[in-house]
C-alpha cells in the first residue's frame, strides 16, 4: 500500500517531539529526518539517570503524540545512535564503557555510524566484518585503506568519540546555516527527495527565523552511494526565513541538475 506523504503533518509532529525533548535539556542536536542527540549531563538530580530520562521521553511520546520511540543511552554520540537502532521500534538500549565490547563489537561493521556501503565493502575486502574487527585492526593499515577517515572510524569503534552535542540556540555569529542527512534506504523519485528536503529545510530555517535573520542564497550538496556528487546554489528572489521557500528553491536546484537512472541512497546537505 502506498500512502502520499503529508509533509506539514510530519513537520508538525517533529516540532512537537522536540518540544518534549526541550523539557529535559537545551542541548539538542538534530540528526537526519526524525532523530536527535540530547545531552542530559548534570540533570540526574532533577530527572534521574539517563535510562530514566529515556523511558520518560518514550512514555511521553506515546501518551502525548501517539508515537513510539527507540532510544540509545551512552556516554558518546556514536554509541547512543547505535543503541537507538538496536531495539526498534520501542525500547531503551544502554551501552556503557564497561559492556560495549560485549554488545557492540559483535555487530556488523556496517552498523557503525558513518560506515556507508562503499566503506563497508572496502573493510569487508580486508576481512573486517564486525565493529570489533575494526576496533582491533592496527591503525596504520586502516589509514592506508581509508586515509584519516580510517583512524577516525577506529576511534569510534573503540568508543573514543568526544564530539559535543550542539546546544539549541547557540549565539555564535551566523554566516551560514545548514543540515544534512544520509538516507537509510534508496530514493527512487523526486517525491522521495522532496520529503528529505522539506524536513532539512525546516531545521535549517528555524535558526535564522529565531534570530530574525533571512537568507538570500540556497545551496545543496548531494552525494550518491556510488560516491558521485554535485553541489549547486541559487539566489532567492526575496530574502526569507520560511522553510517552504528554502525547500522549493532546493528542490528546483535538484531537479535541474539530476537525472534519474537508478535508485540511489543519498547524503544530502542544505
CA distance 96 to 191: 40
CATH 3.30.70.270 occupies which residues in the chain? 24-100
Average pLDDT over residues 101-119: 95
Q: Are 81 and 35 in contact (CB under 8 A)?
A: yes
Q: Are 201 and 243 in contact (CB under 8 A)?
A: yes
- Please report which confidence band the pLDDT of residue 229 belongs to, taking 50, 70 and 90 as the band edges: confident
Superfamily covering domain 105-166: 5' to 3' exonuclease, C-terminal subdomain (1.10.150.20)
Single out the catalytic residue among 19, 29, 35, 64. 35
Average pLDDT over residues 241-259: 91
CA distance 17 to 22: 9
pLDDT of residue 264: 56
User: Considering only 1-5, 34-38, 136-140, 247-251, which range has the smallest mean pLDDT?
Assistant: 1-5
How long a stretch of residues is the chain?
Answer: 270
pLDDT of residue 9: 85
Which bin fits 184, alpha (ψ -120 to 50), beta or left (φ > 0)?
alpha
Please give the class, per CATH, of domain 180-269.
alpha beta
Residue 35 annotated in active site: yes
Distances (CA, A) of 19 to 31, 142, 206, 256, 261: 16, 41, 13, 36, 40
Distances (CA, A) of 138 to 110, 141, 149, 240: 19, 6, 14, 50
Q: Between 262 and 43, where is the model more confident?
A: 43
pLDDT of residue 25: 94
pLDDT of residue 31: 83
- Please report which confidence band the pLDDT of residue 143 belongs to, taking 50, 70 and 90 as the band edges: very high
Q: What is the pLDDT of residues 161-184, one digit of tens each?
A: 989 997 655 545 556 788 777 777
User: Considering only 70-84, 167-181, 212-226, 241-255, which range has the smallest mean pLDDT?
Assistant: 167-181
pLDDT of residue 170: 53
> Which of helix, strand or coil describes residue 239?
strand
Kindly write down the DSSP assignment for every residue of 47-83, as one continuous string: H-SHHHHHHHHHHHIIIII----EEEE-SSHHHHHHH
CATH 1.10.150.20 occupies which residues in the chain? 105-166
The CA angle 34-36-37, to the nearest 5 degrees, is 165
Mean pLDDT of the residues in the chain: 88
pLDDT of residue 182: 76
Q: Under 8 Å CB-to-CB from 100, ≥6 apart: which residues? A: 74, 79, 159
- Please report which confidence band the pLDDT of residue 195 belongs to, taking 50, 70 and 90 as the band edges: confident
Q: Between 118 and 227, where is the model more confident?
A: 118
CATH 3.30.1490.100 occupies which residues in the chain? 180-269
Q: What is the pLDDT of residues 12-70, one digit of tens each?
A: 898 899 999 999 998 998 886 789 999 999 998 999 999 999 999 999 999 999 999 99
pTM for the whole structure: 0.69
CA distance 96 to 104: 10
Has residue 266 got a pLDDT over 70? Answer: no
Task: Look at strands 70-73 and 91-94 and give their pairing.
Answer: parallel
Has residue 240 got a pLDDT over 70? Answer: yes
pLDDT of residue 174: 59
Residue 7 φ then ψ, to 5°: -60, -45
Q: Looking at domain 24-100, which of 3.50.50.60, 3.40.630.10, 3.40.50.150, 3.30.70.270 is its CATH number?
A: 3.30.70.270
Place of cell 547512543: 80
pLDDT of residue 173: 54
Average pLDDT over residues 240-263: 87
**What does the block give as the cell for 162?**
568526544
pLDDT of residue 168: 57
Average pLDDT over residues 111-123: 93
- R_g over Cα of the chain: 20
Nearest partner of 218 among 191, 196, 240, 203, judged by Cα: 240
Amino acid at each position: 500500500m502506498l500512502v502520499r506523504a503529508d509533509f506539514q503533518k510530519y513537520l508538525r509532529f517533529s516540532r512537537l517531539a522536540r518540544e518534549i525533548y526541550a523539557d529535559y535539556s537545551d542541548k539538542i542536536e538534530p540528526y537526519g529526518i526524525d532523530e536527535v542527540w540530547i545531552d542530559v549531563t548534570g540533570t540526574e538530580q532533577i530527572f534521574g539517570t539517563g535510562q530514566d530520562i529515556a523511558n520518560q521521553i518514550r512514555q511521553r511520546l506515546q501518551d502525548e503524540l501517539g508515537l513510539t520511540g527507540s532510544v540509545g543511552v551512552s556516554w558518546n554520540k556514536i554509541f547512543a545512535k547505535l543503541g537507538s537502532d538496536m531495539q526498534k521500534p520501542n525500547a531503551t538500549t544502554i551501552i556503557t564503557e564497561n559492556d560495549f565490547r560485549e554488545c557492540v563489537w559483535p555487530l556488523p561493521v556496517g552498523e557503525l555510524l558513518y560506515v556507508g556501503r562503499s566503506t563497508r565493502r572496502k573493510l569487508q575486502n580486508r576481512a573486517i566484518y564486525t565493529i570489533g574487527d575494526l576496533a582491533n585492526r592496527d591503525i596504520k593499515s586502516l589509514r592506508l585503506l581509508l586515509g584519516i577517515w580510517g583512524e577516525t572510524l577506529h576511534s569510534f569503534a573503540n568508543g573514543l568519540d568526544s564530539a559535543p552535542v550542539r546546544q539549541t540556540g547557540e549565539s555564535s555569529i551566523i554566516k551560514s546555516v545548514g543540515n544534512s542527512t544520509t538516507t537509510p534506504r534508496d530514493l527512487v523519485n523526486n517525491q522521495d527527495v522532496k520529503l528529505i528536503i522539506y524536513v532539512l529545510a525546516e531545521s535549517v530555517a528555524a535558526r535564522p527565523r529565531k534570530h530574525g535573520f533571512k537568507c538570500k542564497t540556497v545551496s545543496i550538496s548531494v552525494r550518491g552511494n556510488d560516491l558521485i556528487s554535485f553541489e549547486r546554489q541559487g539566489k532567492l528572489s526575496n530574502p526569507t526565513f520560511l522553510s517552504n521557500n528554502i525547500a522549493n528553491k532546493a528542490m528546483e536546484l535538484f531537479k535541474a541538475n539530476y537525472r534519474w537512472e537508478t535508485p540511489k541512497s543519498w547524503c544530502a546537505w542544505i
